[in-house]
Structure 1
């Protein structure tokens, strides 16, 4: 009984404050459209949407216009190679299945506009996504999630 009471008291003291690791004065973010040097126009939108969600959910930043934002994110989609062979398995008794891979490369800069300090600069940040034949969108989504996660963790590691 005493153990149960102690556990409930300790559990009641636990709290989570979702500061995300950034200084408290950084509350808003503006994500400028990334320059897209690839031949895939939807890549720009997908990067923007995933980045916006990650900065909101993981760093608790609200969107704002560039002129009023505490943090500004800008970048370039440098490379998008798709349909690269990842592996083929063939068995005479079964159909052949092929795995494909894609590579996404971007440059990004995240700036604290309140101080002018660069929070993060990454050049040539690259991730690979693998997918089954015909599943390029899933491979791209996985590669972008990995890229964005790396960016968020990089910003958080500054504090």
Structure 2
């Protein structure tokens, strides 16, 4: 049995339906990884992390930022990670501020929500000349998180900040 639509399907209607479906899925937490152009010179294909400046007392923070940054770049299949001595460019990550506080507590004093705040930026410099080729600018994230513990809220804030940094790296249109 052949099904027919009550309206005429034109390319414009089909495109609208596809866009609506993508928007709906995006709102459900699905992400479509962009394979867009990276805002770096074309000759830069490999990276290494040179340094993370961390003035906070959070000793776990540099390792978490590095891991998240590497994972986010790798998942988008844009650049390759190599040893510092083989890299086309080096990444410098600067943490200006990081804090997690209780936002909402229940009547027994148990935390139900945390506010995690981070201000961080990434810069990329050519390894051989030290010339800066990209700067994300500072990304300021302050979000409330329903989390089972404070460490979960911390990790979610870092993940969100890194995602914004890498998103800005793709704004090369």
Q: TM-score, normalised by structure 2?
A: 0.65
Rounded to whole Å, the distance in 2 between the matches of 1:150 and 1:26 is: 21
2:154 aligns with 140
Report Cα offsets for 1:64-108 as digits up to 9, x if no partner.
Answer: 2233312321022222212x2323455xxx997632212122232
1:70 aligns with 88
1:111 aligns with 125
**Superposition RMSD in Å:** 3.0
Aligned ranges 1:1-159 → 2 under 5 Å: 20-22=36-38, 24-82=42-100, 84-88=101-105, 98-113=112-127, 116-123=131-138, 125-132=139-146, 135-159=149-173
Rounded to whole Å, the distance in 1 between the matches of 2:78 and 2:154 is: 25
Rounded to whole Å, the distance in 1 between the matches of 2:110 and 2:87 is: 52
Residues 111 and 120, structure 1, Cα contact 8 Å, conserved in 2: no
Residues 124 and 134, structure 2, Cα contact 8 Å, conserved in 1: yes
Change in Cα spacing, 1:56 to 1:30, as seen in structure 2 (3 Å) is same
The answer to which structure has the higher strand fraction is 1
Rounded to whole Å, the distance in 2 between the matches of 1:61 and 1:133 is: 32
Counterpart secondary structure, 1:76: strand
Rounded to whole Å, the distance in 1 between the matches of 2:97 and 2:148 is: 20
Deviation at 1:136, TM superposition (A): 1.4
Structure 2 unaligned spans of 5+: 3-33
Residues 21 and 59, structure 1, Cα contact 8 Å, conserved in 2: no
Rounded to whole Å, the distance in 1 between the matches of 2:125 and 2:88 is: 8
Residues 136 and 168, structure 2, Cα contact 8 Å, conserved in 1: no
Change in Cα spacing, 1:129 to 1:68, as seen in structure 2 (3 Å) is same
Report Cα offsets for 1:32-60 as digits up to 9, x if no partner.
Answer: 23011110110110000000111111143
Structure 1 unaligned spans of 5+: 2-17
Rounded to whole Å, the distance in 2 between the matches of 1:72 and 1:111 is: 5
